[in-house]
């Protein structure tokens, strides 16, 4: 287990597994509800698993082809740029008011 965590675990893989477990949990709670809108929301929530599975498959293919260290480096750059864009957008929204 420790070997898997140190050699094969990437950022997107960990976040993808955590978010897929959360989606399945919340969707099962909503689907077992008593109202039709809750059940529909649960079914729509299950559709978010499709891009998650595609992301996890692409992550595993990239890890197999390029290695964990280079894939983690690229994923840090991607997450850093997304966080930077959120910060820039937040500053933009604060200056508009």
Mean pLDDT (whole number) for 35-53: 92
Contact 10, 63 (CB under 8 A): yes
Quick one: pLDDT band at residue 97, thresholds 50, 70, 90?
A: confident
Find tokens 């929530």 and name the residue.
45
What pLDDT does residue 8 have? 82
What pLDDT does residue 53 have? 95
66 phi/psi in degrees, rounded to 5: -110, -20
The total of structural domains in the chain comes to: 1
What pLDDT does residue 49 have? 94
> pLDDT tens digits for 54-89?
999 999 999 999 999 999 999 999 999 999 999 999
Residue-range definition of the domain harbouring residue 84: 2-96
Is pLDDT above 90 for 48?
yes
What pLDDT does residue 7 have? 76
What is the pTM assigned to this prediction?
Answer: 0.79
């Amino acid at each position: 287990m420790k070997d898997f965590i140190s050699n094969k675990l990437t950022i997107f893989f960990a976040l993808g597994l955590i978010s897929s477990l959360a989606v399945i949990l919340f969707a099962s709670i909503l689907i077992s509800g008593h109202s039709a809108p809750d059940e529909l929301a649960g079914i729509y929530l299950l559709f978010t698993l499709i891009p998650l599975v595609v992301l996890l498959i692409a992550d595993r293919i990239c890890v197999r082809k390029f290695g964990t260290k280079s894939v983690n480096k690229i994923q840090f750059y991607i997450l850093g740029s997304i966080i930077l864009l959120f910060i820039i957008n937040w500053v933009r929204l604060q200056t508009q008011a």
